[in-house]
Structures are given as structure tokens and as C-alpha cells.
Amino acid sequence: MKQLQGDMNCRLSKIELRNFKNTEYGIVEMPSFANKEYFSRSADILGIYGQNGSGKTAVVECISILKNLLEGKTLPANVKNYIAQTSETCQLRIWFTVEFNGEKSLLEYKVELGEISKEQTGIITEELFASEYSGKSFKRKKLIIGYSSEKGKSFVTPDKLYKDLVKLREESSVDMMVARRITQREGVSFIFGDDMNRVFELSKDVLGVYSGVIKALRDYAAYDLFVISNVRESHDHNICLIPVLSGAEDKKEESRKYFVPVDEPFVLEKSKFVFFENILEKMNTVICTIIPGLNIDIHSFGEQLMENGKEGVKVQLVSKRGDVTIPLKYESEGIIKIISLLNLLMCVYNNPFMCLVADELDAGIYEYLLGELLSVFRRGAKGQLLFTSHNLRALEMLDKTSVIFSTVNPENRYIRLKNVRNSNLRDIYLRSIILGGQDEEIYDETDAIEMGRAFRSAGKAVRSEEQN
């Protein structure tokens, strides 16, 4: 590989889960990768459908954990709950196609989570691989760097890498020991943590191009990969505000990324106020086409000194319909959901290297509107959108490779439907639920008569308790 110069273009390719929640094994490929269009710059949309409790949200949570690790952040406090009860560890893998300086490669990051002490669940091993693209296929993968917490094993691999880092700079030995301690104590990635990042910065001659690759993956996770989860600890009512990027703007400025609450006033730094107004102006251009007559505006309460001593403005987001203005928090859940995702969707539409992962995309959104949005993205978007949903309207709007289904079999959790010869994926899915015919069962059969009997039985039990 040549020396890395400038930005690295990166796209999500596939995800693999082993013993994660109720999934013993499952693999999810983005449509472009499944179609062998590895370095596509057009819309890459994937919907995940299936029965309640069949592993759809597990994919979103898996990507969320991997995003945290790639950013150098800590594992969630409840990470132990993600490991299947039938196993002591879980393994997550994620692949990215990357381009830089005319070179094309496939990067693979693999991490194994499990008990590292009696009181703590954390990272047992992690590895980063690269496979160069020959023009037709990917070459044999090469280990860039690995980490292990297991006793009796080198904690950094390959051994040559460790020796070369120490040979170039003796202090690297101490720095790597510190990084290992932090990984064990705080659940931070050894490879992508801040301490190893400093080692790589000071030892570029050893890693060569790969020191840039590691930094570029950190940047991708922080600025181009967004995960919106509906689990309890997520910030469901925050609007994520980032610029609509054309590719020429500097998207790596942390000051240009905001998470703004819709349910209460907040103080905005004066220097960022113009940027905030510009974002709302762009959002309103789209909002009026999705929800006719609606606009988002800012209500200012006046200047206020911020905690850091800088001048700020206390503001609240409001919605306007004609002459009527109300706080945005009083709008319906569906409208708040659309507005909360809108700026991210704008970025995905215009930036081929932006990826949005959203759980329950359809929640609160009118099904016809959902279908129209997905149709618009399928025809004209440049970026990547991965979502879970229960609303079958999307099956009428997306190609067969753009939808996967969760199955009843935990050992083969995700499949694409076979024998799809027409565009009506919805009919085929419903027929497969009733008649079967797929490689795996996609619905654990329920019986309406049994349901009714159970409800009646429960009602009798309640009445009996009341009489006693």
C-alpha cells in the first residue's frame, strides 16, 4: 500500500454476530457488497424485517457497540447482558470497504467480549485486518494489529510490530502497558483507544499506511457513522445537527456536530448561532415537502452567560403552522421522529460515505410517507441507510437485495428471500410465513384460536381472584 494522504473514503460492508443476545450466528451484508459492487457510491439501503424478538434490534446494538469501540469510547455498563446465556463470550465482526490514493481495500475489525475478571466483562481479544483489492477480488487478509487479555499470550500481535515500536521509541513499551491497563479497567478498545493512538502518531514509520487507516476509522465512526437506537438508554428526543456535506467541507470539526434537545430550552454558544440557523433553513426546505405547512424555528429567550464563561443565547425549538407557533415538544411523536432524523437523512442523501443505522424507523411515521421516503432514497441517495421496521410498506418500495429477514433459527439468524421473481416482496414474504418454502423458517407460528382461549382463561382467573 502507498502512503496515506488526505481523507480515506469508507463504507460499511457487512456485520457478523456470534452468541450476541439471542443470535448464535448471523451475518448481514449491505446490498452493494452482496452484489459485488464493493466500491459503489450510490444508494445502499438495507431494511431488516421479522417477528418480534427475532434479532432485528441486535444488529443495531451490535453496530452501536462497535461504533463506540472504534471511537475509543468505553463499552456500555450492561455489556454482560449482550452475551448469550448459552455462551461465555460473544464475538462481533465488522467490515468496511475503503479507498485512498487510488488504492482499494477491505478492512475487518473483530472483537471478542467476555469475563476478564470475576467482577468485570470486557474485551478478551480484538484484531484489525486488511485485504487489498486486486481489481477482481480481495487478496488474502493481513493482520495489522491484534490485542489479547488472555494470560500466557502476547498482548500485542504480530510480535514483530511490538518489537519495531519499542525499537523506534523505547517509551512505547510503557505506553502500550498503560493502554492495556485502561482497556482492562475501562473497557476501551486497545487498538482505537487514545493511548495507542498517540503511540501510532509517534511511530508512523513502523505502521506506515496503517497508522493513517486506524485514525481514519476512528474519524469515520465519530463523524460519518450514526446509530439511532430505541433502547431505554438512548436519547430518543435529540435532534442531531450536522452540516449537509458536499465533500469539500471539513466534516472533521467537532464544533460542527450538535445534539440538540427538543423537549427543553438550551443555551447555544453565540459563535455557533449562525451555523444553527443555516441548518434549520436547510431542514425547512425538506420539512415543507414532507409535512406541508410545517416549519421549524428558534425562539430566543435572550443572552445568557455559559458555564465556560463564553457568551451564549438561550433558545428553544418551536414549530410554526401559519400564524400558530408552539414548542416543538408538543408536536406528535411521528413529527418529532421525522425531525430528529431529518438532518442525518439529508446527509445520507448527499454524502456517499455517510451511514445511518436506525432502529424502528417506521415508529410513529405514516406508512405511505415511509414508502415515499424510501422510494426517494432508493432512486437518488448516495449514502447508506440500515434500518429495522415492522411496517411492510417498505417491502413494496425496495429491491429484493435491499431487505433481509430474521429467522426462527438462532444459528442462521438473517437471510434474503429466494425465488423472488417479481417486485412484490411483501406478497412473497406473507406467503412464506404461511406456506414456508424458504431456506429457514421466518415466523414462529402463532395460533389465533389459542390466543383467544388464553385471553378468556386469563379473564376467568382475574374474576376468580376478585371474587375471593
Same domain, 33 and 150: yes
Residue 157 lies in a domain: yes
The mean per-residue pLDDT over the stretch 309-316 comes to: 91
Same domain, 156 and 45: yes
- What per-residue confidence (pLDDT) applies to 257? 66
Amino acid at 303: E
What percent of the chain is modeled with pLDDT above 90? Answer: 57
Please give the mean pLDDT across all residues of the chain: 87
pLDDT digit string, tens, across residues 144-171: 999 999 877 789 999 999 898 888 888 8
- What per-residue confidence (pLDDT) applies to 5? 47
Please tell me the distance from the alpha carbon of residue 461 to that of residue 452, in angstroms, as a whole number: 14
Answer whether residue 343 shows pLDDT above 80.
yes
Same domain, 185 and 325: no
Same domain, 213 and 248: no
With cut-offs at 50, 70 and 90, classify the pLDDT of residue 232. very low
Chain centre distance of CA 197: 23
Q: Are 17 and 413 in contact (CB under 8 A)?
A: yes
Answer whether residue 236 shows pLDDT above 50.
no
Backbone φ, ψ for residue 69 (5° rounding): -65, -45
Residue 326 lies in a domain: yes
* Parallel/antiparallel/unpaired status of strands 156-157 and 142-148: antiparallel
Answer whether residue 7 shows pLDDT above 90.
no
Same domain, 43 and 187: yes
For residue 331, which of 344, 318, 349, 342 has the smallest C-alpha distance?
318
CATH number of the domain within which 152 lies:
3.40.50.300
Backbone φ, ψ for residue 208 (5° rounding): 60, -130
Element spanning 418, H or E: none
Element spanning 209, H or E: helix 209-223
Answer whether residue 129 shows pLDDT above 60.
yes
What's the pTM value of the predicted model, to 2 decimals? 0.90
Q: Show Cβ contacts of residue 325 under 8 Å, excluding neighbours closer than 6 positions.
A: 297, 299, 318, 319
- What per-residue confidence (pLDDT) applies to 255? 45
Answer whether residue 438 shows pLDDT above 50.
yes
DSSP characters over 154-194:
-SEESHHHHHHHHHH-THHHHHHHHHHHHHHHH-B-TTTSH
Q: Are 243 and 251 in contact (CB under 8 A)?
A: yes
Residue 148 lies in a domain: yes
Same domain, 59 and 165: yes
Same domain, 216 and 252: no
The conformation of residue 83, written as its DSSP 8-state character, comes to: B
With cut-offs at 50, 70 and 90, classify the pLDDT of residue 48. very high
Please tell me the distance from the alpha carbon of residue 373 to that of residue 384, in angstroms, as a whole number: 14
- Residue 284: how many CB atoms within 10 A of its CB? 16
Tell me if residue 195 falls in helix, strand or coil: helix
- What per-residue confidence (pLDDT) applies to 203? 82
- What per-residue confidence (pLDDT) applies to 68? 96
Backbone φ, ψ for residue 260 (5° rounding): -110, 125
pLDDT digit string, tens, across residues 277-298: 888 999 999 999 999 999 999 9
Answer whether residue 2 shows pLDDT above 50.
no
With cut-offs at 50, 70 and 90, classify the pLDDT of residue 89. very high
CA-to-CA separations, 136 to 41, 131, 291, in angstroms, rounded = 18, 13, 46
For residue 429, which of 406, 452, 450 has the smallest C-alpha distance?
406
Please tell me the distance from the alpha carbon of residue 172 to that of residue 203, in angstroms, as a whole number: 9
Answer whether residue 60 shows pLDDT above 60.
yes
For residue 192, which of 211, 214, 172, 210 has the smallest C-alpha distance?
214
Total of domains in the chain = 2
With cut-offs at 50, 70 and 90, classify the pLDDT of residue 4. very low
The conformation of residue 10, written as its DSSP 8-state character, comes to: E
Please tell me the distance from the alpha carbon of residue 411 to that of residue 62, in angstroms, as a whole number: 17
With cut-offs at 50, 70 and 90, classify the pLDDT of residue 248. very low
- What per-residue confidence (pLDDT) applies to 233? 41
Same domain, 310 and 407: no
With cut-offs at 50, 70 and 90, classify the pLDDT of residue 238. low
With cut-offs at 50, 70 and 90, classify the pLDDT of residue 353. very high
For residue 345, which of 298, 397, 306, 380 has the smallest C-alpha distance?
380
Same domain, 298 and 326: yes
Q: Show Cβ contacts of residue 158 under 8 Å, excluding neighbours closer than 6 positions.
A: 143, 145, 146
**End position of a domain, from candidates 346, 366, 394:** 346
Same domain, 183 and 316: no
Q: Are 381 and 411 in contact (CB under 8 A)?
A: no
DSSP characters over 131-158:
EEB-SSSBPPPEEEEEEE-STTS-SEES
Element spanning 86, H or E: none
Please tell me the distance from the alpha carbon of residue 13 to that of residue 27, in angstroms, as a whole number: 11
DSSP characters over 231-285:
STTS-TTEEEE-----SSS-TT-GGG-EEEESSS-EEEEGGGHHHHHHHHHHHHH
Same domain, 315 and 392: no
Pick the most confident of 66-70, 268-272, 310-314: 66-70
Same domain, 179 and 279: no
Residue 336 lies in domain: 237-346
Q: Show Cβ contacts of residue 26 under 8 Å, excluding neighbours closer than 6 positions.
A: 16, 17, 20, 55, 58, 59, 412, 413, 414
Please tell me the distance from the alpha carbon of residue 207 to that of residue 200, in angstroms, as a whole number: 7
